[in-house]
Amino acid sequence: MKLTDIQVTSFRTTTRTHPTKWGYYQWGPERETVSSLTAFTTDEGVTGYMLGGDQRTIDAVIKPLLLGENPLDREKLWHWMDQHPGINEHLMGWVDCGLWDLYGRMVSLPVHKLLGGCRDKVKAYASTWPNMGKPEDYAEHALACKAQGYTAYKVHAYIHWNPYTWEPGPQLPGYPEADIEVCKAVREAVGDDMVLMLDPFGVYTYEQSLWVGRELEKLGFYWLEHPMIETRIEPYRRLTRELDIAICSPEHAPGGIFTRAEWVLQGASDMCRIDVGYGGITGCYKLVMLCQAFGIQCEMHGGGWTNTHLLGATPASTCEYFERGLLRPDADYELPAPYLKAICDPMDGEGNVILPTQPGLGFEIDWEYVEEHRVR
Neighbours of 336 (CB within 10 A): 15
According to the model, what pLDDT value does residue 376 have? 87
CB 333, CB 327: distance < 8 Å: yes
* Strand partners for 354: 121
Q: How many whole angstroms separate alpha carbon 59 and alpha carbon 368? A: 26
Q: Show Cβ contacts of residue 372 under 8 Å, excluding neighbours closer than 6 positions.
A: none
Torsion 318-320-324-328 (CA) sign = negative
**pLDDT tens digits for the chain (376 residues)?**
999 999 999 999 999 999 999 999 999 999 999 999 999 999 999 999 999 999 999 999 999 999 999 999 999 999 999 999 999 999 999 999 999 999 999 999 999 999 999 999 999 999 999 999 999 999 999 999 999 999 999 999 999 999 999 999 999 999 999 999 999 999 999 999 999 999 999 999 999 999 999 999 999 999 999 999 999 999 999 999 999 999 999 999 999 999 999 999 999 999 999 999 999 999 999 999 999 999 999 999 999 999 999 999 999 999 999 999 999 999 999 999 999 999 999 999 999 999 999 999 999 999 999 999 999 8
The helix (run of H) or strand (run of E) holding residue 310 is helix 304-312
In this structure, the number of other CB atoms found within 10 A of the CB of residue 350 comes to 11
- 56-80 per-residue burial string, b: 16 or more CB within 10 A, e: under 16: eebeebbbeebeeeebeebeebbee
pLDDT at residue 165 in the model: 97
Count Cβ neighbours within 10 Å for each residue of 171-185 and write b for 16 or more, e otherwise: eeebbbebbbbbbbb
Which domains, and CATH codes, for the chain?
3-108+366-371 (3.30.390.10), 113-354 (3.20.20.120)
